[in-house]
Chain A
Amino acid sequence: MSSRGGKQKKGNVTSEQEEEEQPLQAVLVADSFNRRFFPISKDQPRALLPLGNVAMIDYTLEFLTSTGVQETFVFCCWMSNKIKDHLLKSKWCRPTSPNVVHIITSDLYRSLGDVLRDVDAKNLVRNDFILVYGDVVSNIDVSQALQEHRHRRKVDKNISVMTMVFKESSPGHKSRCEEDDVIVAMDSKSKRVLHYQKTQGLKKLQFPMNIFQHGSDEFEIRHDLLDCHISICSPQVAELFTDNFDYQTRNDFVRGILVNEEILGNQIHLYVTQDGYGARVSNLQMYDSVSSDMVRRWVYPLTPEANFTDQQGQGCTHSRHNVYRGAEVSLGHGSQMEENVLIGRDTSIGANCHISNSVIGNNCTIGDNVVLDRAHMWNNVHISSNVEIHQSVVCDGAVVKEAVRLNKQCYFSMLPVSQVVIGPNLSLPEGTVVSMHHPEEEEEDDDDEFLSDDQEVGHSKDKTRQKAFNPAEVGPEGKGYIWKASMNDTEDEELAQCLWGLVLNPDPESDSESEASEESQDRSRSVSPEIDDVNAFQLEVLGTLQRGLEENIVCDNLVLEINSLKYAYNITLKEVMQILTRVVLEYPFQQQGTQLTTLQYTGSLLPLLKTWSPVFKNYIKRAQDHLDCLSAVEELFLEQDTHQTAMVKVLMKMYQLEILEEEAILKWFSTGATNDKSRQLRKNQGLQKFIQWLKEAEDESSEEGE
């Protein structure tokens, strides 16, 4: 620590001297480190997905350049070649560009933390820098925030390490991403962040009292903030990431800084802006809303007709009701473009079409009598006549045959070479994903997911050909595989899934059991609401157990790991046991989704209990431990009331494995009931029988003993 302090001090002196001459730098992370856009992102990195016919990374670079950034480091991992090619061709790499773009690629980045550690290792930033993702669309003027940040750093001797840019917007607004909802407690005067918490999936919020006992007398607790994912960082941020190798995301970082504030003396500040637009395209829903905001000119001057990427032939004209037309667009007789429509160049549209709120890419052909509403079509899409598309994404080169109906939130993903064909005469339900990649490939390819993309794609193509397409799913002439047709109420499902700490959105991954544990751990970590230590601990335990299962780790080692986690997160023994019980019982849900039948559930749980019984035995020793464990079991089954019948089997198994003693169970049964629900639970027939049996067994054994 002391050496670090010395280094910091030295760095500060030089940075103060050079502050004026130093060009403004930015770190752009052109990788999402998750797979929300899967399977689209299998063929194209997220930063290159078109938004309003322009790659998302171009918006980010334009934003950076217009705020006066002179040097940008673009970090790519997944499909870095494609990003590199794109950037080299773009105006950013022309010699006249005011913003010098350096591209840094590595296959080893797994998270934002890795990138920033690399920034530190390579010593790239010398001064305050702007940190953004490659999918941020914004026109916010951050120079004000930058000034405030610099001022604070001068006044407070570099205590402030990061200023996060937020935009005011009411909760529930469509361009607010649910998973990014935060509640922030801050000092109104200094704008210092006192408490920062993601609210997704939380019903209760807790604020530590000590944050309100600090010097200032005015506090604000705000929930009306939209996270723009733009942060102004001091060079120390990179160093702090290096020091704390467990920081993966900005969230980890912010929480880490806040927790250790008193020890390290670092602070985080907030900049709240009212005007300007800033949002990150972090999932498909955000893609839809950002795209429509862009067409509605919220992101002015980054409008479609501005052609800010300066590409030949990308220009288009803007006419009333926000209708944008590229060059050489032909429109059939009787076709209507109602409002908020963007049509790329060389696209032809047949007669009597009805198009509203849609974006259509370059070189598309659309037949007659087509209805498009909130459709996002990329380049070279062919739509035959009588097709209806609602709120869907149709990717590069897709072919939709006659009389197909795509309902809400369908999306197609396809290889650029061999395209998905849908139809004719088919109606796809909501939330369908069709791809040229077979879903099962995914499981097989999982291990080398982050390795060289070219190899993998070629490899998977071979496999694709071997498998037949299902005509019932994609139509008689169809080509492609259905990934998942989710239930009607996607919203609810999303919420449920993220409560489980899994990935949101039409992500077929949640089905597959064989995913690499490390990665799932990372992902669940980056996605899940990280509320407090207990929750983090729970995730860690889950990760440990998963890995234990996959790598056949001896239970003793698992115990060791859990013990060390216990100290790391400062968890009491009682909580450890409760969490452990909970994690184990929830494990089947975690792995196979919440829709298991009771039979499936017990089927997968009981072997697990057997495997992990030594772990339990290690923690459940005293009589009180038994009771605590039982109450944890009870609590869980009260929540999962559909699976209450499974409870008996679980208790039975635990009894057989000698995890629980009969006296404890009996005691729990007779005394534990505290409210109506738990009384109800105890009336369960199976449970009563079990207790009956236990009593008899006890009697017998006591007789024998005599």
Chain B
Amino acid sequence: ALAAREKKKEEEEEMNYFPDEVIEHVFDFVTSHKDRNAISLVCKSWFKIERYSRQRVFIGNCYAVNPVRLLRRFPCLKSLTLKGKPHFADFNLVPHEWGGFVQPWIEALARSRVGLEELRLKRMVVTDESLELLSRSFSSFKSLVLVSCEGFTTDGLASIAANCRHLRDLDLQENEIDDHRGQWLSCFPDTCTTLVTLNFACLEGETNLVALERLVARSPNLKSLKLNRAVPLDALARLMACAPQIVDLGVGSYENDPDSESYLKLEAAIKKCTSLRSLSGFLEAAPHCLSAFHPICHNLTSLNLSYAAEINGSHLIKLIQHCKKLQRLWILDSIGDKGLVVVASTCKELQELRVFPSDLLGVGNTAVTEEGLVAISAGCPKLHSILYFCQQMTNAALITVAKNCPNFVRFRLCILEPNKPDHLTSQPLDEGFGAIVQACKNLRRLSLSGLLTDQIFLYIGMFATELEMLSIAFAGDTDKGMLYVLNGCKKMRKLEIRDSPFGDTALLADVNKYETMRSLWMSSCEVTLGGCKRLAQKAPWLNVEIIDENDNNRMEQNGHEESQKVDKLYLYRTVVGTRTDAPPFVSIL
């Protein structure tokens, strides 16, 4: 036994040519989560060194682990990222009370006295109590980023403002915040001068403009400022004058007819902002005010006008014509195919494009079509990410796009009418999407739409080797479709399916596949309660959740349980078993 131990020690030492401190220093250069996870698997000693030196931890599903295990493994963590609800929660498919509460995490972190500096949450339920506890528990806390969260009010923001002495980032993106129209901005003490990011664009209520101006004036490091709609044009001019160093600006509201003095002041202030690279907001915007920004457009790398519903296509085009260095563009489809042709000829550096629908009632404005998409693919050689809402598409267009742009990493196409075929040939869009997956060898994310049969899934299984996330809606014919994907896509992490005819056969074919994935969502499909129960039995390391809003206990009352179709199924791997905070309409099998 002694000899065996000696041999093992020798082997371990061979693995480590250098002392631990040196290895740790080398690990400092390894920052991506995937890479750090990989090096922790090399050997026991690397696992140990890595876990004590890990400062940034990413948890993609807050129910896959728990705070106790997190702290046990990474006691020195400084930055935590947590994600809660599944993606389809963004579209109201997940009830508000489903879960994803941050409170237990903050409580545990506070108790353990870990030196938390950064907290990034996505689709989690955050309360004022949580924010208050957060603000009081970590003296070095610097950065709070909340994306698509809900459950808190401006009172919670007041705690953060008042208590976090070294606050650098307060970044609120698309959250649902109850605005108590209080004075949270004035809760930043006069001694707070460290702000780098302040984003409150999603707040609906009034803003204390005086407090805001004073805060901006005493924040020399402020680089990113995103205002809400309650900040009018003259206030904007004053703010920009105090912060000419601004890099990223979210404009609040423009008055419809600013007096010429306000407009001139704004023009003058904008001209001084030579570091400005990113522009967004324009939540209520008078179109002719856009021209005030023309002088700095040639520096812009990012432009988000997707909330500017009142700016029509021609004004957008006038602005974009000046933006030759644009890398990221988020726009409404009111820009039209013509506007996209202008983008294609102007924005040669474009990497990411998102075109959102402006006319959701679909009363026939064919704002953008396959023509716009083809133009972009032809004109923008660096394009790798696209989200495109449109009224119609053809296989021919998609095949052309695939030829022009084989570098797509993210390709999300949403044809607004479900099941719509190729509008010229009336064929399904299998061949078009098939061309995309075949040409784009680095494709990691794909969203499908339009009329699609099992064939597209055959193509995806065959060609989409790097695919990690797939969104399916109103597609496919039989279980074979889903099976092609599960069998073929070795790197699949998140699969979300709605209103497609996939059932128990596909669900149960390869239970172990789900261990390699983060999660699976299926709603309005053909899976039955019996099938889900069988799955849960075979895979105890999965949480199999059935969400049934219609009647809390209907599933138990009915005699024909097993064959009952499940409305919403959400399953995910976990190392901590069934969660205890599920509401009554969620059954965990």
Verify that A and B bind, or say they do not: no
